[in-house]
Amino acid sequence: MSKTGTPVTDVPATTPDGKPVTIFDTTLRDGEQAPGISLDVGEKLEIAEQLARLRVDVIEAGFPITSQGDFDGVKAIADTVGTHRYADGGAAPVIAALARCHPDDIRKAADALKGADASRIHVFLSTSEIHRNVMLKGASEDQIIEQSVEAVKQALSYTDNVEFSPQDATRTNPDFLLRIVDAVVEAGATTVNIPDTVGYALPHDFGTLIGDIVRRVGDDAAISVHCHNDLGLAVANSVEAVRNGARQVEVAVNGLGERAGNCSMEEVVMALNTRRDLINKSLNVNTKEIARTSRMVAQLTGYPIQFNKAVVGRNAFAHESGIHQHGVIQDRLTYEIMNAEDLGYTGAQIVLGKHSGRHAFAQALEEMGYTLEKEEIGRAFDRFKELADRKSDISDADLEAILADELYSAAEDAYELVWTQVSGGTTTAPTATVRVKHMDDGREVTEAAVGDGMIDAVCGAIRRACGVEGRLVTYNVAAVTPGVDALGDVTCQVEVDGRRYTGRGVSTDVVEASARAFVNGLNKAFRLAGNPKAETGAP
């Protein structure tokens, strides 16, 4: 790398066999396991299509045995994204599905993946002593090896691309870990993933372990890593693993996942791209799609991005210090080691306003990379015109917010918010009145409620109008763009019958955005309550 921070470009960027490092994205599987995230099939498909534009190599689309909804999501992705062809002739991403080392799991995964041009079945089984004793009723090492080998062989009867993960590998006895790696490779596993399931590893030791396994396996299988972030080391451990020969990294957009999350896709990709002088590896990822992917996942999952998050946070390319500002004005490389444009960040505003027509609107969406059906364009255009009457400057971020809010209001929604009205002040109890349309029979119900504040009042009125006892558990509001006329983007978690559902709503009025988010959460409960996630811990 040059002293300015510009990556050296004349270094041969290859793995030992001349292939790029595989980026295996598990946002739709492990990422969706984060508390409160409940994506429906349409939302999963939209994220998968964006991951394909990002050019990840493998999309782990879900865990089909856990629910009919998860099976349907994997199948939809396999049938569409899994058959995609790029304009430059590139092949569709491999679509993967997770399965325990159990015959029913493997058959279900295979059924869901049938439509994909290239599929992978990812089987896993716990190997650490604590997992074997507590979760597997004291299963012996020999029993674990036998079950793992049988699972790999069964998966190979459906596809020639099979991955095996010894869950909690970094707390597994090293001798046993090597034994099971040898056994599954001999059985035909094409990828062996070494998961740091509870984020226990430290970079130096993890790198040494991966190096030992890579040398042991040789070219018989690709070695992969799946690092969790419990100690904040998921990216560091993954980078060290690649430096020691790992050929695949498992990631999630924005670092989503169980507990403290997974290895962040955007962070590990940019670490490998930026420090090619030290880690001589290439990637297939189109980094110009990183910013859009990050925003989409944040919008659809309801998990906002912290301002100071590496690579994609609001402050990642912002400078407050006078010294820093002075340097950046002279040359951005003084304090920036990455180029914001390389990540897809632009400051451009689309030229749309309240006088813009449907054709110009549709063309603007197409230029942003969105392909919508006629009915979807109509719904989004109606929301755009409503916004344009309130806000003079419409940005691409505003449009993305409208799309995320409007297009994922599914046809099978139970409720539609018609209007809200609030009143109150410092000496008057906050009161809200709402009208909600019940989509099953078309009737409109008007209810009012008093609350501790405007948001509490409007949620109380919605509960009455819908006849659902939903409880607001978490609440977050952020501005989509700067300025006093910015869209308010509200995400919340609504608890219904002991389960949590993420709701989202946008409007220039924060109370209206909050009402939309609460209704969106109740609609998700209506759609998804029949498909609860199974308690099936995974790497």
Whose CA is closest to 397, among 495, 301, 489? 489
Cα torsion at 306, 309, 315, 319 (round to 10°)?
140
Q: State whether 201 and 284 are in the same domain.
A: yes
For range 184-192, the mean pLDDT: 98
As annotated, the binding site for Mn(2+) includes 30, 226, 228, 262
> Does 442 or 334 have the greater pLDDT score?
442
| Residue 104 forms part of a structural domain | yes
DSSP label at 311?
Answer: T
> Does 250 or 372 have the greater pLDDT score?
250
| Residue 309 forms part of a structural domain | no
- pLDDT interval class at 348 (50, 70, 90): very low
Q: State whether 59 and 154 are in the same domain.
A: yes
Q: State whether 82 and 145 are in the same domain.
A: yes
Q: State whether 362 and 422 are in the same domain.
A: no
CATH number of the domain where residue 505 is located: 3.30.160.270
Length of the chain counted residue by residue: 539
Cα torsion at 225, 231, 236, 240 (round to 10°)?
-50
Residue 123 domain boundaries: 22-301
User: Checking phi first, is residue 5 left (phi over 0); if not, alpha (psi -120 to 50) or beta?
Assistant: left
SS3 330: helix
Q: State whether 84 and 182 are in the same domain.
A: yes
Q: Hey, what are 402's tokens? A: 């409208």
So what's the pLDDT on residue 447? Answer: 96
So what's the pLDDT on residue 264? Answer: 98
Which among 51-55, 472-476, 535-539 has the top mean pLDDT?
A: 51-55
CA atoms of 441 and 467, how far apart (whole Å): 15
| Residue 306 forms part of a structural domain | no
CATH number of the domain where residue 59 is located: 3.20.20.70
| Residue 207 forms part of a structural domain | yes
Tell me the average pLDDT of the chain: 87
Q: State whether 379 and 423 are in the same domain.
A: no
| Residue 216 forms part of a structural domain | yes
Q: What is the DSSP string of 111-149?
A: HHHTT-SSEEEEEEEE-SHHHHHHTSTT--HHHHHHHHH
DSSP label at 480?
Answer: S
Q: State whether 203 and 126 are in the same domain.
A: yes
Above 50 in pLDDT, residue 531? no
Above 60 in pLDDT, residue 120? yes
- pLDDT interval class at 287 (50, 70, 90): very high
| Residue 326 forms part of a structural domain | no
- Residue 438, CB-side half-sphere exposure with 13 Å CA sphere: 12
As annotated, the binding site includes 30, 226, 228, 262
- pLDDT interval class at 197 (50, 70, 90): very high
Above 50 in pLDDT, residue 4? no
CA atoms of 108 and 456, how far apart (whole Å): 43
Q: State whether 400 and 442 are in the same domain.
A: no
Q: State whether 71 and 220 are in the same domain.
A: yes
Above 90 in pLDDT, residue 499? no
Against a cut of 0.85, is the pTM above it? no
So what's the pLDDT on residue 2? Answer: 36
Q: State whether 364 and 280 are in the same domain.
A: no
| Residue 503 forms part of a structural domain | yes
| Digit-coded pLDDT (tens) for 126-155 | 999 999 999 999 999 999 999 999 999 999
| Residue 170 forms part of a structural domain | yes
Task: Output phi, psi for 315, to 5 deg.
Answer: -95, 5
So what's the pLDDT on residue 14? Answer: 45
For range 162-172, the mean pLDDT: 98
DSSP label at 11?
Answer: S
Query: How many structural domains comprise the chain?
Result: 3
So what's the pLDDT on residue 10? Answer: 36
Q: State whether 469 and 383 are in the same domain.
A: no
For range 34-61, the mean pLDDT: 93
Q: State whether 116 and 169 are in the same domain.
A: yes
